[in-house]
Amino acid sequence: MPSTADALTDADLAEISASFEQSTPAEIVRWATETFGSDLAVAASMEDAVLIDVATKVQPGIDVVFVDTGYHFPETLATAERVRRRYPIELRVVRDESPTDDLWRTDVDACCARRKVAPFDSALRQYAAWMSGLRRADSPERADAPIVTRDGRGLVSIRPLATWDDATTDAYIATNDVVLNPLLFDGYPSIGCGPCTNRVAPGDDPRSGRWAGSGKTECGLNL
């Protein structure tokens, strides 16, 4: 039997996405949970728990997928544990089981593909749709990101926070006492793996510290 994701054409998704331009994240999450039910997951980097906070207010017990690459900062792993304890979620921690190595020194794309993308792709096989905290304000490359689209896996990708700017996000964090990775207060406005993430000077592109000097801007999860 075709899944809900299969039943929705690309034209349907584009129309739905356009209709959400003035919607709140909670309204988008509610549509996603009503449409996909248990076939929906939230992807979390453990940089912050904004989307998790929004999603659990709509659907307590929702699945959250976190990729443990083996190279995360200790603060990121501690944040994952704080999130697990704080919010009503089913936290799924997935990882590549091969020993860590120095591939990141010579080929960051291959390292991301092995340590992050492959485990994530495997975890998503049981779902029809997934939500991420991607925002258009994150970077110039994300400025035109649709709210709802079909990703390269054939799954429906939903970005409930896509239209939020930094001020709106910060206000939500303050009002709701959202769990944050402490590295956000230490010069890391965008947090990935320890070996490839650098501090960023105030006023610089928040994602410029990710894979600095490599020309890489995305890990491949949002394909």
What's the rounded Cα separation, in Å, for the pair 94 and 68? 6
What's the rounded Cα separation, in Å, for the pair 50 and 106? 34
Number of other residues whose CB lies within 10 A of the CB of residue 139: 18
**Three-state DSSP class for residue 27:** helix
Q: Cβ(220)–Cβ(152) under 8 Å?
A: no
Q: Where are the beta strands (DSSP E) in the chain?
A: 40-43, 62-67, 89-94, 129-131, 148-150, 156-158
Annotated binding residue 193: yes
Annotated binding residue 112: yes
Annotated binding residue 88: no
What's the rounded Cα separation, in Å, for the pair 191 and 197? 6
R_g of the chain, CA atoms, integer Å = 17
Catalytic residue among 178, 183, 219, 221: 219
- Which residues fall within 8 angstroms of residue 46, CB to CB, at 6 or more apart? 66, 72, 76, 77, 79, 80, 83, 181, 191
Assess whether 219 carries a catalytic annotation: yes
Q: Cβ(63)–Cβ(89) under 8 Å?
A: yes
Feature table: binding site: 111-112, 193, 196
Feature table: binding site for [4Fe-4S] cluster: 111-112, 193, 196
Residues belonging to the active site: 219
